[in-house]
Amino acid sequence: MDWLEGEIIGFDKPYRWTSFDVVGKTRWLLCHRLGYKKIKVGHTGTLDPLATGVVVVCTGKKTKCIDELQNHVKEYVATLQLGATTPSFDLEKEIDATYPTEHINRQLIDEVIPTFLGEQWQIPPVFSAVKVDGKRAYKLARKGEQPELKPKRLVIDEIEVTAFDESLMQLTIRVVCSKGTYIRALARDIGQRLHSGAHLIQLRRTRVGALRVEDCMQFEDFEKLIDNSDITKEPSTRH
């Protein structure tokens, strides 16, 4: 494989890794195992640290493909806890409010979930990388500020219920959506349309474009791939 000419790799991101951790680990392995002095490495779409699944990484000249790859549709499997909210809309922050759930049943869920199909306008989470007056929203939120975020247009191509545990009030859905969709914000919105609250307790990105998570590499596999590479390890020939 020619990493400088460019390769596109799919990783199954570990839990609590950031997308930048994935990029940094990839770059470190390429430089330290193969002797590159420097190499371009980038990802094609951020995945929250508390999520797992597909992160696409480009190296070398293939980093020019990042903008195009970012536009690919994404598929997620998400589990929501109904009846409670958190400021981050997931498990990063503690529960800040609870809501009634006695009225929620499978019939109501089956009525509400299809209303999210098609074009939607979504307000991003405050704890996100969206910029407000040149500053990241999450940095402002961590200072106790409440930045005003504008709704963004997105498209949900598919959404379906895959499981509902009425005793635990936990709902699992599969979502196929456009670039820029925050599944945490979708969890918030589902809770509101159920006349309750909700937050994300588990998220896995299962597909980006045609690349499925079962076809992605673990980092252990990537290390073996590099170690078995027949490319020259002389740094003097690689710049």
Q: Which residue's structure tokens are 């839990």?
A: 15
pLDDT of 138 reads 66
Are 161 and 172 in contact by the 8 Å Cβ rule? The answer is yes
Looking at the predicted structure, is the pLDDT value of residue 227 above 90?
no
Annotated catalytic residues are: 48
Please check whether residue 163 is in contact with residue 182, taking contact to mean a CB–CB distance below 8 angstroms: no
> 19-34 vs 219-227: helix axis angle to the nearest 10?
20
- Which residues neighbour 196 within 8 Å (Cβ) at sequence distance 6 or greater? 82, 83, 99, 100, 101, 103, 104
Mean pLDDT of all residues belonging to the chain: 91
> In the predicted model, is pLDDT for residue 88 greater than 50?
yes
pLDDT at residue 237, rounded to an integer? 41
Q: Tell me what pLDDT residue 231 has.
A: 52
* Buried b / exposed e along 36-45 (16+ C-beta atoms within 10 A): beebbbbbbb
Q: What CA–CA distances, in Å, run from 144 to 127, 151, 176?
A: 11, 21, 33
Of 12-21, 64-73, 143-152, give the lowest mean pLDDT range.
143-152
Could you report the per-residue pLDDT of 105-124, keeping only the tens digit for each?
Answer: 999 999 999 999 999 999 98
Measured CA to CA, the distance from residue 87 to residue 154 in angstroms comes to 22
Those residues whose C-beta lies under 8 Å from the C-beta of residue 217, and which sit 6 or more positions away, are: 9, 10, 11, 12, 225
* pLDDT value at 97 more than 50: yes
Structure tokens at 159: 């959404």
Which of 134-138, 223-227, 229-233 is predicted least confidently? 229-233
